[in-house]
Structure 1
Amino acid sequence: MELNENNRPLTEVPANEMPETSVQPVADASQARYPQRKSKEEVIERLKEIIADNCNADKQEIDLLKQTFYKLHKAEQDAAQKDFVNNGGKAEAFIPKPDSLEGEFKSLMGSIKEKRNELMAAQEEEKEKNLARKLEILEKIKNIAESPEEAGKTYNEFKQLQQEWNDIKLVPATKVNELRKNYQLYTEKFYDMLKLNYELREYDFKKNLEQKQYLCEAAEKLADYPDAISAFHQLQKLSQEFHSIGPVAKELRDSIWSRFKAASAVINRRHQQYFELQKEAEQNNLDQKTVICEIIEGMEYDTFKTFADWEDKTKEILALQAKWKTIGPTPQKMNTKIFERFRAACDNFFKQKAAFYKYIKENMAKNLEKKKALCEKAESLKDSTDWKETAQILTQLQKEWKTIGPVGQKHSESVWKRFIGACDYFFSQKNKANSSQRSEEVENLTKKENIIKQLEELNAAGTTDDGTAEQVRALMKEWNKVGHVPFKEKDRLYNAYHTAVDKLFERLNLSASEKKLNSFKSGLSNERNLYKERDKLVRTYEGLKNDIKTYENNLGFLNSSSQKGSSLVTEINRKIERLRADLSLVQKKIEAIDEALRGQN
């Protein structure tokens, strides 16, 4: 005798039709339920097995096989692109080779989809047939339940109809509740009017109670099962069995059902929590990937003026791409959208970079021709003895040279040496003709030797007070004011001076920045073209300002609420502080050159 939780007859209801177990796992959970395929060939073989088994596989496994194939497909393309770049090619010029297995994969997926559609159509047709049969059985049970005088004689027929009802499985989901309600109504009516032997009835109750207690214990043990997904699916089978068992004694019906329902609630709650945590992690991944997209999209391309600017930004892009790969999946509906946004931002960066390089190369070729023309003019004047007028012309040519932009690296040094060589030759000849300058260089030699002597005396005294440091600075300032010395004495004096200064710096513990600045100032008198040096420092200064501005803008796109975001903010702040220190040093060097130029004038 088969009764439900209300001590009334109930036949089996398929698991997919039970309302209390309607929650289904998302596709990502399939990764924990099926073996990982390590190659595209393994994916192909599994698809062939599924087709051979008449598509006996659920949609989750098929989706996982599809994701695995394209993940391996993309990994091969990325590796091929990396080899292409490592061998000298440009990333934007890379064209992936056709995948020989992709056609077979798509063909197999098409066959599976077609067979599954046929299978689903057949299942729907079978459900309609099963519905018609159950309606016919229900009508017979109704007639038996409404014939109380024949109840004793029709008991066996009723049991046979119950068995037939249980043998019929799937029916349309929209009809499940209505069928179940009518089935319970007429079977309850039949048992209410049926006068069976009391001992037989009690035996059925006892047997059903033992079976339901066993199912309750099994459901309660699932609460400690480590895999929440597997526990959920095992519960579906237990629930199906529970509802297929007949009734228990009336006074135990509510308690045994409450016990099973309580155990089911624990498993369902764990199952729901699993997917809630997974959803939260995916949202966090989406937030991180969105920040990366915003950083790349927020780059101010009009501020990138040099090759160094673009190379620095390229390193940042590559670092962000590497970080992207370490972040897990996002919500399924956003996964494709956020990746397309990221790829579009990266593609735009490299497109802008390629356009800049093309533009700069074209301008460099024009600049080279302009500088060659200046070289020819300087070379035509280098042997002139009209010192004053020629000096003015060459000085003007040097100023014009600084207004011309850069040239290609392979031509930069040679064309500069050609130009400055002609200029230096003229001024050297001019200096030789100026005897008064020689006497001035001799005087400068005496002054610098005296400064070196004083530095060595301070070093020998061994004092480290503030007064000594001030004396050192005063002597260095005096050194910088002294002009040129005879050429053959230049290196000797330079080495002696810096040896004495370095020893004093080391003992007085002066800052590295101050040491660099003082060292730079002491070398200004040896510079052959202070205008060129100043122009170079000004470009460096502007580049550092742009870098600081870029990093400060990037801070606005970062979310420091997460641990990873906070770490990135801290690193960018450190970079900004270092850049500001470099900016200050460059500014002081420019000021030192300006002072030296004023002294020359």
Structure 2
Amino acid sequence: MSSDPWGRVDETGTVYVRTADGEKVVGSWQAGSPEEALAYFERKYEGLVVEIGLLEKRVRTTDLSAKDAQAAIDHLREQVDAHHAVGDLDALRTRLDKLVETVEARREERKAQRAKQSDEARKAKEDLVAEAEQLARSDQWRAAGERLRALVDTWKGLPRLDRKSDDELWHRFSHARSAFSKRRKAHFAQLDAQREEARRIKERLVAEAEALSGSTDWGPTAARYRELMAEWKAAGRAQREHEDDLWNRFRGAQDVFFAARSSVFAERDAEQSENLKLKEELAEEAEKLLPVNDLKAARAAFRSINERWEAIGHVPRDARPKVEGRMHAVERAIQEAEEAEWRRTNPEARARAEGLTGQLQAAVDKLKAQIEQARAQGNNAKADKLEKELEGRQALLEQALKGLQEFGG
């Protein structure tokens, strides 16, 4: 009979293993010596030790699912419980029990992680819905529209929730977008209607102006032209493709009339020369308003000068473009100052400028990273090509930053 600390072979060739519950029959061995029998079943035990060790490592270092891990544990436990090996089988059971605990802990950990991710996704989608519902009430049509499109892309990148919650949030999100689109469409439809109405009014004014252009009833006709000009200004702007053409016809009709009147009043040249002198003095006074430092004061002063200008009357025809040009230059400078002030205080323009600089900065940073990676990989041709593209993007970024500075940003 042969034995070791964990097993023995009796005189009949029966192999036993010692466990906490007493000896268990491992098998029968008739092919050789008892020592060979123990060695054979000890090797089977070592095989189980190796398999359990590998499973422990897989559980510890890979993303093996809890279901697959438990199946592997059950398979090994069957082999251990079959007592077909000689060794410390109780120790193997203990290791398998601990492995079950580890797998269960991992299962709970992953369950908690999935719950956390779901909570984070829910919070993110609720935030998107809240922002979309706020944007739905905005009148910043371009900025809000662009932001809503960005929110859709963000939504697509988030994981789905349970079907009921996801559908409810998406319904609110989609409803907010639809409400904004409906309001924007109504706004521009109204704007188009107003411009169309302005076009109809101005076509009527042009028709009357052209009909009056041949009149020799100088006083009443001139007065009517002034009334037509007031109506023109009150009508608002027509569509861009019609506005300039209508204005040229309207102004041309007035020019025909006033040119004819000027030829009849040729004898008043002396008076017109005096008018020219007065208007040149007013033009000089107006030019002193430049550069525009105090917009409000400049506007009020120019209005006063212009009222006196209008009260003076006509100047010689050949001198009119020059002197009027001087006044128009001052008027344009004041208008440009007004437009600059409007742009500077316009939050929508500022948002566009900030968004553009942000996009360009991100593109520059990305190109720099790509160039560095290409250099590191020894791909100089690609890096050189990317650097040329980077130069263009940096130039655009500098231009955008200069534009942003107009807002004090």
TM-score by length of 1: 0.39
Report the residue type matching 1:270 in the other structure.
R
Give 1:353's match in structure 2, choosing from 184, 189, 192.
Answer: 184
What is the CA–CA distance in structure 1 between the aligned matches of 2:51 and 2:123, rounded to whole Å? 44
Contact (CA 8 Å) 2:209, 2:253: kept in 1 or not? yes
Tell me: CA distance 1:271–1:429, structure 2 relative to 1, closer, same or farther (3 Å).
Answer: farther
Tell me: CA distance 1:451–1:542, structure 2 relative to 1, closer, same or farther (3 Å).
Answer: closer
Q: 2:319 matched to which residue of 1?
A: 486
Tell me: CA distance 1:358–1:279, structure 2 relative to 1, closer, same or farther (3 Å).
Answer: same
What is the CA–CA distance in structure 1 between the aligned matches of 2:48 and 2:179, rounded to whole Å? 65
Contact (CA 8 Å) 1:394, 1:423: kept in 2 or not? yes
Report the residue type matching 1:236 in the other structure.
Q
Cα deviation, 1:11-63, whole Å, max 9, x if unaligned, reads: xxxxxxxxxxxxxxxxxxxxxxxxxxxxxxxxxxxxxxxxxxxxxxxxxxxxx
Tell me: CA distance 1:369–1:450, structure 2 relative to 1, closer, same or farther (3 Å).
Answer: closer
How far is the alpha carbon of 1:581 from its aligned partner? 4.0
Contact (CA 8 Å) 2:77, 2:96: kept in 1 or not? no
Tell me: CA distance 1:356–1:201, structure 2 relative to 1, closer, same or farther (3 Å).
Answer: same
* SS in structure 2 of the partner of residue 227 of structure 1: coil
What is the CA–CA distance in structure 2 between the aligned matches of 1:543 and 1:446, rounded to whole Å? 34
Tell me: CA distance 1:312–1:225, structure 2 relative to 1, closer, same or farther (3 Å).
Answer: closer
Q: 2:160 matched to which residue of 1?
A: 330
What is the CA–CA distance in structure 1 between the aligned matches of 2:255 and 2:344, rounded to whole Å? 30
Q: 1:29 matched to which residue of 2?
A: none
Gap regions ≥5 residues in structure 1: 1-191, 193-197, 456-469, 495-520, 552-573, 583-601
What is the CA–CA distance in structure 2 between the aligned matches of 1:261 and 1:199, rounded to whole Å? 22
Report the residue type matching 1:378 in the other structure.
A
Contact (CA 8 Å) 2:209, 2:225: kept in 1 or not? yes
How far is the alpha carbon of 1:316 from its aligned partner? 3.5
* SS in structure 2 of the partner of residue 523 of structure 1: helix
1:266-281 paired onto structure 2 within 5 Å? 266-281=102-117
Tell me: CA distance 1:387–1:322, structure 2 relative to 1, closer, same or farther (3 Å).
Answer: farther
1:129-278 paired onto structure 2 within 5 Å? 201=25, 213-214=49-50, 216-229=52-65, 232-244=66-78, 245-246=80-81, 255-278=91-114
Q: 1:284 matched to which residue of 2?
A: 120
Cα deviation, 1:500-552, whole Å, max 9, x if unaligned, reads: xxxxxxxxxxxxxxxxxxxxx9723579xx9xx79xx79x959966848999x
What is the CA–CA distance in structure 2 between the aligned matches of 1:400 and 1:450, rounded to whole Å? 30
What is the CA–CA distance in structure 1 between the aligned matches of 2:290 and 2:209, rounded to whole Å? 44
Contact (CA 8 Å) 1:367, 1:404: kept in 2 or not? yes
Q: 1:128 matched to which residue of 2?
A: none
Q: 2:356 matched to which residue of 1?
A: none
Gap regions ≥5 residues in structure 2: 1-20, 29-40, 310-314, 353-399
What is the CA–CA distance in structure 2 between the aligned matches of 1:411 and 1:489, rounded to whole Å? 28
What is the CA–CA distance in structure 1 between the aligned matches of 2:167 and 2:286, rounded to whole Å? 72
Report the residue type matching 2:168 in the other structure.
K
Q: Please state if 1:439 is matched with 2:245.
A: no
Tell me: CA distance 1:322–1:201, structure 2 relative to 1, closer, same or farther (3 Å).
Answer: closer
Give 1:319's match in structure 2, choosing from 147, 150, 157.
Answer: 150
Cα deviation, 1:409-446, whole Å, max 9, x if unaligned, reads: 33222222222333444455667746434334356658
How far is the alpha carbon of 1:298 from its aligned partner? 1.7
Contact (CA 8 Å) 1:282, 1:331: kept in 2 or not? yes
Q: 1:523 matched to which residue of 2?
A: 329
Q: 1:343 matched to which residue of 2?
A: 174
What is the CA–CA distance in structure 1 between the aligned matches of 2:62 and 2:171, rounded to whole Å? 37
What is the CA–CA distance in structure 2 between the aligned matches of 1:275 and 1:437, rounded to whole Å? 94
Tell me: CA distance 1:342–1:445, structure 2 relative to 1, closer, same or farther (3 Å).
Answer: same
What is the CA–CA distance in structure 1 between the aligned matches of 2:291 and 2:346, rounded to whole Å? 32
* SS in structure 2 of the partner of residue 298 of structure 1: helix
User: Share of identical aligned residues, percent?
Assistant: 17
Higher normalized strand content (fraction of residues): 2
1:443-454 paired onto structure 2 within 5 Å? none
What is the CA–CA distance in structure 2 between the aligned matches of 1:490 and 1:367, rounded to whole Å? 32
Report the residue type matching 2:174 in the other structure.
R
How far is the alpha carbon of 1:388 from its aligned partner? 4.9
What is the CA–CA distance in structure 1 between the aligned matches of 2:114 and 2:23, rounded to whole Å? 54
What is the CA–CA distance in structure 2 between the aligned matches of 1:355 and 1:525, rounded to whole Å? 35
Greater RCO between the two (CA within 8 Å, min separation 6)?
Answer: 1
* SS in structure 1 of the partner of residue 81 of structure 2: coil
